[in-house]
């Protein structure tokens, strides 16, 4: 396979992307892919892109604005509605590329972006298939699943960041990841292990996120779009997920007309490594190839 560095624009800001092209395939179908809530494309998405490319599919992997190789300040700004704008811009760019078949296009998302791909599939025409891995589907269910002390801290940090923004000051940030007992976007033991495994040693990424996401998260509800999705969807979720209530994922899957919903007796971050990863990615590749066939 061959990987090409590309750029595209979303709301006049340059976004960084990789295009993986399989060898010996003319105008291959293409999978568009981006990462979860505080991550960027070099945090393990290569393993998915390389596998899918090895199965004859092109893969377009991108960073959201304000993340990774993309432009935008403040850095690591999590805003689901901005992310959706970036998804739309990425899809529009991919459909104009000469070396892939933009009419055979699928979406792949994980965790927070697992919810994004569901929203985009409901809104965009011509999406052939969607893979949503351990997807975030309902901000209300997720918030209600959290300790009340955590929710209150999130609101306090969020309002501090909002006041800083109004006054033109630097963002008030919170850690993206931290040890249990310390406030962060994710503070579970498995989150620490995942980031240690997948963050490149030479990364410029900083473990900080503008805290305003604490004011937005409960309002983001991809489940509200599930019934509007017409293309086939593969949902693979974790029944021991400490971040995303698995029952909300099942409810979202039940609303989709053509969905394969697979529950796994594992935690949120176990899907990215080991034998389970191998089994899941093979299942995902088979699903994508089947629905991207000419």
Residue with tokens 């209530």: 245
pLDDT recorded at residue 294: 73
Identify the CATH number of the domain in which residue 132 sits: 3.40.50.1820
Residue 147 maps to a domain: no
Torsion angle of the four alpha carbons 256, 257, 262, 263, in this order, in degrees rounded to the nearest 10: 40
pLDDT recorded at residue 188: 87
Residues 189 and 180 sit within 8 Å (Cβ to Cβ): yes
Question: What total of structural domains would you count in the chain?
Answer: 1
Quote the domain boundaries for residue 44.
2-138+221-292
**The model scores a pTM over 0.75:** yes
Residue 70 maps to a domain: yes
Residue 183 maps to a domain: no
**Cα gap 19→12, rounded to integer Å:** 21
How many CB atoms lie under 10 A from the CB of residue 112? Answer: 26
**Cα gap 68→40, rounded to integer Å:** 5
Residue 277 maps to a domain: yes
Helix axes 45-54, 274-292, angle to 10 degrees: 50
Per-residue pLDDT tens over the stretch 129-171: 999 999 999 999 999 999 999 999 999 999 999 999 999 999 9
Residue 56 maps to a domain: yes
Residue 17 maps to a domain: yes
In the structure, what pLDDT confidence band is assigned to residue 291 with cuts at 50, 70 and 90? very high
């Amino acid at each position: 396979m061959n990987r090409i560095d590309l750029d595209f624009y979303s709301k006049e800001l340059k976004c960084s992307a990789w295009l993986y092209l399989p060898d010996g395939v003319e105008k291959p179908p293409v999978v568009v892919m981006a990462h979860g809530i505080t991550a960027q494309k070099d945090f393990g998405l290569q393993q998915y892109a390389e596998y899918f490319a090895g199965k004859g599919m092109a893969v377009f992997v991108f960073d959201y604005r304000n993340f990774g190789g993309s432009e935008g300040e403040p850095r690591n700004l999590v805003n689901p509605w901005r992310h959706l704008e970036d998804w739309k811009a990425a899809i529009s760019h991919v459909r104009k590329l000469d070396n892939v078949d933009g009419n055979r296009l699928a979406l792949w998302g994980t965790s927070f972006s697992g919810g994004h791909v569901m929203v985009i599939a409901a809104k965009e025409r011509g999406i052939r298939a969607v893979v949503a891995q351990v997807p975030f589907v309902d901000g209300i269910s997720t918030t209600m699943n959290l300790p009340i002390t955590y929710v209150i801290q999130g609101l306090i940090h969020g309002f501090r960041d909002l006041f800083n923004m109004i006054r033109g000051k630097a963002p008030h940030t919170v850690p993206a990841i931290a040890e249990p007992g310390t406030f962060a976007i994710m503070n579970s033991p498995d989150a620490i292990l995942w980031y240690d495994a997948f963050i490149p040693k030479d990364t410029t990424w900083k473990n900080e996120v503008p805290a305003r996401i604490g004011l937005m998260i409960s309002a983001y509800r991809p489940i509200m779009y599930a019934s509007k999705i017409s293309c086939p969807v593969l949902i693979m979720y974790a029944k021991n997920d400490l971040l995303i209530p698995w029952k909300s994922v099942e409810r979202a899957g039940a609303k989709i007309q053509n969905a394969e919903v697979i529950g796994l007796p594992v935690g949120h971050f176990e899907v990215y490594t080991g034998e389970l990863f191998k089994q899941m990615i093979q299942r995902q590749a088979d699903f994508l190839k089947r629905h991207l066939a000419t």
